[in-house]
A and B are shown apart, each in its own frame.
Chain A
Amino acid sequence: MHTLEPILAEHPFLKGLDPRHLDVLVGCASNVRFDEGAFVFRQGEEANTFYILREGKIAVEIFTPHRGAISIDTVGEGDVLGWSWLIPPYHWHFDARAVEPTRAIALDARCMRTKCESDHELGYELMKRFAQIIEQRLDATRWQLLDVYGVRS
């Protein structure tokens, strides 16, 4: 397990995190890999894991009856996948599928939720980081909605 610590410490998402908080994360972490085409999680499933991506590419998808699976966002090296584990009722809202062979660190969400409840400082540090990610995704979504490349833009 201790080999994951340097990897986590270097990841942009966890930059500046106090070493004792990092230790907690390491305690909930494991190395995972996904083959191309493999599902990371499905819409509606319980959100019990979140992923810190090391290599590869994952598409966040929605399946529609007429158009099939549509990718609404892609994340890769240096990104984080999944925040529904933080927000009740802790269910995934979308599918996530690896479009390239992907390696990531999986963090046990149930473990993390318990630790954050008892250590609010850890909880706050994680919340701050996730708030930033959510803001970036929200901004990006709004810009995508603007359809700037459309004829009437």
Chain B
Amino acid sequence: MSDVSTRGPDRVVLEPAAMQQLIDVLRSTGYQVHGPVLGNGAVVYDELSSVEQFPAGRGDQQQPGRYRLTVQEPAAWFGYTVAPQGWKRLFFPPATRLWRAERKGSGMTLVPEQEAPPALALIGVRACELAAIAMQDRVFMGGPFIDPAYKARRDKAFIVAVNCGRAGETCFCASMGTGPAVGGGFDIAMTELMSGGRHRFVAEAATGRGAAALAGLAGRPATTDDEREAAAVVAEAATHMGRAVHTEGLAASLMAHIEHPRWDQVGRRCLSCANCTLVCPTCFCATVEDETDLTGAHAARWKKWDSCFTLDFSYIHGGSVRPSPYARYRQWLIHKFSSWVDQFGTFGCVGCGRCITWCPVGIDVTEELQALEQEHPTATEDATA
């Protein structure tokens, strides 16, 4: 990821009040602004209108199967790492109506969806989350068939990224090459500084509309001291990653080890609860549901989030192709770290660590991958013979 300090000369320093200005300007120009707020005992992303709603002075402590909010001094706004879910639900909603089918005589008419999607502004997008959005862009807009609903929401979106100053305990973005410094895909990027009791943001624009927005805010040009400090904050996060994935040759070795005994072991722990797929910012599997009202005159087709961990997911007449939990876990992990490369040219994981935090039994993908890379014996010698 490129160093913040080598960017162009547009870097400015903003006071906290400028952030409120930015939110106000975005809202007045028709954007629905989303950012981090406190909710349900966590930092979550939700619609907001004021900087007062930011989780000031709050951090998070994440472990396999554990998430706790903490109190931090000084009271930074972006002292947490990542919220339980990313921004996926804004561009790829959990449930979308695709079209309606109305009975007409003995036939039907199909009615497309007319409602224009909202213009979305995202504040506080992390490097890993930017990478995840880029991956979903490739899935939904990069192939021969484009998802029009996704594209409509993405095209309008205004993104304000915020660099991480701290690595979460379950984070491993550095080894996945997606962070902690933000790469691209944003309109404005910021680094929050708290030193000397002065709360401020070093900000830069990467697009024309980002630059226009910045120009209208109260701020001053950044000095080399400011830039050095911002760079140091991000470097701090990079050196404290608690976990890593050895990516070289991983895609091939996972497929080669498709019958490794470790799959059985993790399969016995896995509850197939699908939490990992629900919190994962890149998972894109969906199902379609057809519904009709009682009269049968009005039918509709919906696209809804789905998970490869369900039995139904692989059902063909006669039964599920993957009835055992180990096979479903294997499908997910191999997709994320091997097949995704064949399908989209990169790994499907951004190293955000959510699947580790939110797994009820604390399965850690970095640990599983390490075990799966080891050679395994094909038969165990019987020492008792």
Show the binding face of A for B, using Cβ within 8 Å: 151-153
Q: How many A-B residue pairs have CB under 8 A?
A: 5
Q: Which of B313-338 contact A (CB under 8 A)?
A: 317-319
Q: Which chain A residue lies CB-closest to B317? A: A151
Count chain B residues whose beta carbon lies closer than 8 angstroms to a beta carbon of A. 3
Q: Whole-angstrom distance between the alpha carbons of A153 and B319 in the complex?
A: 8
Residues from chain B with a CB closer than 8 A to the CB of A151 are 317-318
Q: Whole-angstrom distance between the alpha carbons of A24 and B317 in the complex?
A: 56
Give chain B's interface secondary structure class. Answer: loop
Q: Which chain B residue lies CB-closest to A152? A: B318
Give chain A's interface secondary structure class. Answer: loop
What's the nearest-Cβ distance from chain B to residue A20, in Å? 45
Q: Whole-angstrom distance between the alpha carbons of A151 and B319 in the complex?
A: 10
Residues from chain B with a CB closer than 8 A to the CB of A152 are 318-319
What's the nearest-Cβ distance from chain B to residue A153, in Å? 6
Residues from chain A with a CB closer than 8 A to the CB of B317 are 151
Q: Whole-angstrom distance between the alpha carbons of A129 and B318 in the complex?
A: 39
Q: Which chain B residue lies CB-closest to A153? A: B318
What 5 A-B pairs have minimum CB-CB distances, sorted nearest first?
Answer: A152-B318, A153-B318, A151-B318, A151-B317, A152-B319
Q: Whole-angstrom distance between the alpha carbons of A11 and B62 in the complex?
A: 75
Task: Convert B163-207 into 0s and 1s, putting 1 for each residue whose CB lies closer than 8 angstroms to a CB of A.
Answer: 000000000000000000000000000000000000000000000
Q: Whole-angstrom distance between the alpha carbons of A151 and B317 in the complex?
A: 7
5 pairs from A and B in contact (CB 8 Å cutoff): A151-B317, A151-B318, A152-B318, A152-B319, A153-B318
Q: Which of B283-327 contact A (CB under 8 A)?
A: 317-319
Q: Whole-angstrom distance between the alpha carbons of A153 and B321 in the complex?
A: 11
What's the nearest-Cβ distance from chain A to residue B37, in Å? 51
Q: Whole-angstrom distance between the alpha carbons of A153 and B318 in the complex?
A: 6
Q: Which chain B residue lies CB-closest to A150? A: B318
